[in-house]
Structure 1
Amino acid sequence: MATRTDAPTRREQILKEAARLFAERGFHGVGVDEIGAAVGISGPGLYRHFPGKDAMLAELLVGISGSLLTGAKQRLKEADGVAAPEAVLDSLIEGHIDFALDDRPLITLHDRELDRLRDSDRKLVRQLQRQYVELWVGVVRELYPELTEPAARSAVHSVFGLLNSTPHLTRPGSLPGRAGTAELLHRMARGAFAAAGSR
C-alpha cells in the first residue's frame, strides 16, 4: 500500500481523503460533499465511484485487513526455506510498521468506526484479522517454541497494540524521523516478544 510508486487512481484518492476526514471528525461528522471537495470533484460525482459513505468505510476497513494479510503471506512465501525464524519475524514487524506509520488514519478509523459496518463486512474484517494473527503466532512459536499457543497469541496482540499506537503520537515530527521511529518500534516489538519468550 505505502510502497506503491504509481499515481493513485481517483478511487484511491477518494478513499485516502475519506479515511483522513473520517479519522479527524468521525464518520457522521463528514459529508459526501466534503470528501468530494478534498479530491476536486462534486459530492454527487463520488457516486460514480461509491454508492455512499458506508461503502467507502467498508472498503477502507476490509481493504486494509486484506492488504495486511496478503502482505504477510507474501513475506512468508519469500522467506520459506531460506530465512531463519528471526528474520521472518523481523520481516513481519517491518511490514506492520510500514502500515502503522503510513496509514495512521485507518488505525483510528478501525478503532472508532468498525461497529458501523454491516454485519457481513464486520465479520469479514474479523476473519481476515484472525488469519493475520495466526500467521504471526506460527512464526513467533517457531522462534520461541517454549511459548504456548495462547501465550504467543497474547504476545502478538500486545505487539499489535504497541505498533498501532502511532495515531497517538501527538508530534511525530519530534521523533527522529520516519526511519528512527520505525527502528524504535521494531526494537520495542522484538523486545516484547523476547520478554514473552523468556518466561
Structure 2
Amino acid sequence: MPLLHAMLFAIHDCGFIARLAAEDTGSNEMRIDKILRIIRESCYSIHDISRVETSAKSKLPRFNMPFECGLAMAAIRFGFRPPGTPQRDFMLMAAVPYQDKQTLSDLAGQDPKTHDNDPEKVVAAVRGFLSTKAPHGEKTRGGAAIWTRYRNFNASLPRLAKALDIIPREIAAFDYLRDWLAVMSAWLTLKGPSASAKARHS
C-alpha cells in the first residue's frame, strides 16, 4: 500500500485524476469489464509489473498487473482512445533493474522505471512521466516538492481520518482506499491545487 498511496498522491498532485478498479466496489459490473472501461476512458496508464508476489496461502503469483498492462498496450497498438483526447501512453515500473527481462520478456525494448520499493522513487517516476503530459504552458511541481507534500499529508492523515471515525489502521488498508482517496483529494484542495491548472484523467 505505501507504493500505491505514493503513486496516487503524485498523480493527483500533478493535476491528473487516478482511475482504478477500487473506485467502485459495486457488483453490477464484472471486474474485467470495469478495468476495460477505465482503460478505454483514460489516455495514460501506469503499470508496476513487480506486483506479482506469491500468495502465502496458494504459493502462486498474481498476474493482474501484467495482464492489465497488456490490455493497455493493446489499446495503444489498435488505436483505441477517447475522442478528442491526446495520444495514449503508458509507463512501466519495476522493483529492480532488468526485472522485466526475467518475467515479461515480450516487453523487450521498453524501459521500466525502477523504484526499489521506495515510495519516494515512485513519486519521482510518476512526476517524470506525467510532467511531459501537461498541456502546453502548464507546469508541474518537482518530485522533491511533491514528496514533501506527501509526507505532510501523511502526518495529517490520522487527524483527518479521525474526523470520519476511521482509525489509522483502517484507512491504511486496501478496503478503505476510496476513503483514503477522498481524504487525500480534500487535503490537496485545502493546500492548493497542482501547478497544473486543470485536472485530467490518467
TM over 0.5: no
Higher strand share: 2
* TM-score (ref. length: structure 2): 0.31
**Which has the bigger relative contact order, CA under 8 A and spacing at least 6?**
2
